[in-house]
Structure formats: C-alpha cells, structure tokens
Amino acid sequence: MGCVYRPKDRDIWWIKYRRAGKAYYESSESTRKGDAIELLKKREGDIAHGKPVTSKMGRIQFEEAADDLLNDYRINNKRSIAVVQRRVEKHLAPYFCGCRMANVTTADVRAFVAHRQKQGVVAVKGKRKGERIGDVSAAEINRELALLKRMFTLALQAGKLLHRPHIPLLAEHNVRVGFFEHAQLEATLARLPEEIQPVIRFAAITGWRIDSEVLRLEWRNVDFGVGEVRLDRGTTKNGEGRTFPFTAELRALLEEQDAERERLKKAGHIIARVFFRMVAEGRGGEKKPRPITSFGKAWKTACRAAGCPGRIPHDLRRTAIRNLVRAGISERVAMELSGHKTPSVFARYDITSASDLQDAARKLDATRTSRPATRGA
C-alpha cells in the first residue's frame, strides 16, 4: 500500500507507492492532502490494471506533444507535414503553449474554437498585414482540432497520458458538389493550353487525384501490353496500390503522350513523367520538357471562359465517379478504380444532377405507359 506525506518545510503533498517491489515517489503538485490521496488512488488503480505508471505520466507539455506529432508525420513520410507544422505553429501553439496536456479540458477546447472564430483570417502581407480580413471556416478549425486529437492519441500510446478530453468538431456546411457535364468539360478543355488537356482528360476518366497521383504518374506505371495504368503502393492517399484498365479513350490519350515522348527521346530528352510541358530555359531560350506541377491560373481562366466559374480540379474526381456509377459499374468496383476505401466517402462523390432526375421521371413514365389498362373505374 502507498501513502501520502508532506516533507518538512514544504507545502506540497507527495505520494509514495510500490510497483514490482520498487518504491516510487511523486509530487501531487498540490497543497491539498485530498488531491494527493486522489492521485495515489489513481496510481494504485493503474498498477492493479497493469497500466504503465511512471512519475512523469501526465506531465507532458503541449510542446512535447507537438514534437511527437511532427515526428509521427516525418517517420511516416506524410507529404502534408508542412501544412501540419504551419497549423501547429500559427494557431495551436500560441494558444496552448506552456499547458500540460493532462490539464486541457473540453471547456478549454471550446474556448480555443471561440478564440479562432474571433481571430478569423489575418492578412500576412500588404497594407492590411496583421488585420482581420475575414471569417475562418469550420473546416479549417476542424483540421486544427484533428491535430490536437492526434497529439492526445500519440501521448496515450506512449504512456504519457491516461486519458484525453472529448474534442467536439464543428458542423461543416461547405461540402463541394461540383462536377462537369460533357459539354462543360469539352468547353473548358478547348480553352486550356494544349499540354494541360491530357491531364484533365486523364483525371476525368479515372477520377484520380491530380496533384498527388496524376501529375506524379511515370511511364513505368503504364503498361500498354496488359492495357492498364497503375499506382504503386505507398504513393496514394490511402497508401494502397491501384490499377485502372485502359478504356479506348484512355489508351488513345496515353498513346499520343507516348508518341510525343518518343519524338523528344530522339532529340536527346529523357522523360520519366507521363505529363510534361515544354519550358524555355537558359539565355538562348531553348525549350526542354519539364514535369507539369501546377496549372492553377490557366485552369481558372479556362473555367471562366467556358461559363463554369468557380470549378476546381477536384470536381473532375466527382465527374469521373458519377460517370462510373451512371455506366452501371458496381459501387465496389468503382471504389477500387477511384481509390475510395469507405462507401460513406464514396457516396459524397456520387453527385445527382437535374438531368439525372429528369431521366428518372422519364423511366417512371415509361413504366406507367407500359402497364396494361385495368378494368373498372
């Protein structure tokens, strides 16, 4: 059995307990004897249930938890580490810095949310630098709360905490539902630079993510013999590999890209990426093939000119999934092709348009007119 005591000439109560025959001493950091008794009961209960107990348990500071979070991102090679670090340093750290994680309560989390909403979006440059220029979205705050949750999870896994508070998330009402009808997509493509058009067509067929999957695609992932294009395990968002068999349109697109690659190869240019553009370099302005990494300005200009302002490249993922479902492909197979792991997330991408509803009405009319006439009234 343990005991509580107060050293001479000190106001803080301490506890003493044993585990595996070894004595442990720990400060309750309180001048109240009752707090020390509660801490002792907690430690003895943890020992009885086989939980790891050390004198440092519960003392982890926010700074240490943040370091553990970033280390977790680094060792798992997560590409979003720069965004995570910015959110921690810019928003979470200024508010929770110096706090013990064990002392953070649900009320503290709600106070942080209120603080962020009041703080809003602050200009980082220009004449209004440091001023509030707009409201912060619920989605942005939720991403920060998710990082705080992850800090608590890692601390629990490491035996640095015994519990974590409930961290409520805000309701998000900004779910995007954009997609392209065929005519809209063709109109947008016609206004894009020629080297960008294959990227957009590929994304509209496969539904793959443009930045992390389409633009990073290499020729070693394309198999004309088998008739498929593949993503390696570990290169996708969910970490799993993926395969998309050629459609006639997809094969034609890739064959055109391959023909251009072969032409440039004869000129001495080796190209690893499937999608590339010619870029002028050096004093002479000689054009060389370089991987496409972004096309934001050209995309916005083309969408406005095509009468589709506000559309984003990710709308192509919704477009592809919608087309897969409308083609009669089963949900399970469509999820395999697009890379979705859960039906709930997949369902968010299966967009219904006005034309879909009109088709449903026509089918309903067809079934009614095909019924035999009934006798009676």
**Three-state DSSP string of 54-106:** CCCCCCCEHHHHHHHHHHHHHHCCCCCHHHHHHHHHHHHHHHHCCCEHHHCCH
Residue 304, pLDDT score: 94
Residue 375, pLDDT score: 53
- Which of the two residues, 174 and 89, has the higher pLDDT score? 89
Residue 357, pLDDT score: 58
Q: Average pLDDT in the 110-131 region? A: 90
Q: Average pLDDT in the 227-243 region? A: 85
- The number of residues in the chain equals 377
Residue 247, pLDDT score: 93
- Number of neighbouring beta carbons within 10 Å of residue 251: 15
Residue 266, pLDDT score: 92
Q: What is the pLDDT of residues 127-144, one digit of tens each?
A: 888 888 899 999 899 999
Residue 323 has pLDDT above 60, yes or no: yes
Q: Average pLDDT in the 210-238 region? A: 90
Confidence of residue 349 (pLDDT cuts 50, 70, 90): low
- Which of the two residues, 359 and 42, has the higher pLDDT score? 42
CA 175, distance to chain mean position in Å, is 14
Q: Average pLDDT in the 179-184 region? A: 89
Specify the pTM. 0.62
Q: What is the pLDDT of residues 14-42, one digit of tens each?
A: 888 887 777 877 777 788 899 888 888 88
Residue 350 has pLDDT above 70, yes or no: no
Identify the three-state secondary structure at position 246.
Answer: coil
Residue 79 has pLDDT above 70, yes or no: yes
- Number of neighbouring beta carbons within 10 Å of residue 342: 10
Residue 377, pLDDT score: 45
Q: Average pLDDT in the 64-83 region? A: 91
Which segments of the chain are extended strands (E)? 3-5, 14-19, 22-27, 121-122, 132-134, 222-223, 228-231, 242-245, 276-281, 286-291
| Range ranked top by mean pLDDT from 17-21, 26-30, 93-97, 319-323 | 93-97
Residue 300 has pLDDT above 90, yes or no: yes
Dist CA 260 CA 280 (whole Å): 17
Q: What is the pLDDT of residues 211-222, one digit of tens each?
A: 989 999 999 999
